[in-house]
Amino acid sequence: MVVDTSVLLAIAFAEPHATWAAAELDAHAGDLCMSTVNLAEVLIHLRDRRPDAIAELEDRVLTLGLRYVPPSVEQARVAAQARLRFPLNLGDCFAYALAVEEDTSILTLDTDFRAVDRPVILPSLADERDAS
């Protein structure tokens, strides 16, 4: 399962779906991967929003048990195609490309992924009501 940036940011910043996101990571432990492009996004946001705690937050992210996968040329091609097909930003395109390459689903909080042709795991509507 590919983990999108939004999942780790929700946990790091105790956002409304943090509990759901953490439970999903626990439920799928050992079967999780993330593009290093998305890892860079996470690290940028951590440094931007919590520079005072970057060492601790970075350590938490890097020890979550995810397999971090550097982008390949083929992933770049798939990501470029995805950018033209779906309403995804660059990081989302690489999460999608990794999901295509791994033939797996995407764990995310980003509803833009609803348009893709991969299985997407999002909080249910009940979870969304509970988080607000």
Domain that holds residue 69: 2-127
Domain membership of residue 30 (yes or no) is yes
| In a domain? residue 132 | no
**For 26-72, what is each residue's pLDDT tens digit?**
999 999 999 999 999 999 999 999 999 999 999 999 999 999 999 99
pLDDT over 90 at 78, yes or no: yes
DSSP character string of 69-115? EPPPHHHHHHHHHHHHHSS--HHHHHHHHHHHHHT--EE-S-GGGGG
Mean pLDDT of 12-17: 93
CA 38/CA 44 separation, integer angstroms? 10
Model confidence at 116: pLDDT above 50: yes
For residue 15, tell me if it sits in a domain: yes
Residue 121 CA to residue 128 CA, distance in Å, equals: 13
CA 94 to chain centroid, in Å, comes to: 10
Beta bridge partners of 120: 106
Q: What is the mean pLDDT of the chain?
A: 93
pLDDT over 60 at 104, yes or no: yes
Count of other CB atoms within 10 angstroms of residue 131: 15
Number of domains in the chain: 1
Q: Does the pTM of the predicted model rise above 0.85?
A: yes
Instruction: Tell me phi and psi for residue 18, to 5 degrees.
Output: -60, -40
The domain that contains 53 carries what CATH number? 3.40.50.1010
Q: How far apart are CA 121 and CA 88, in angstroms?
A: 16
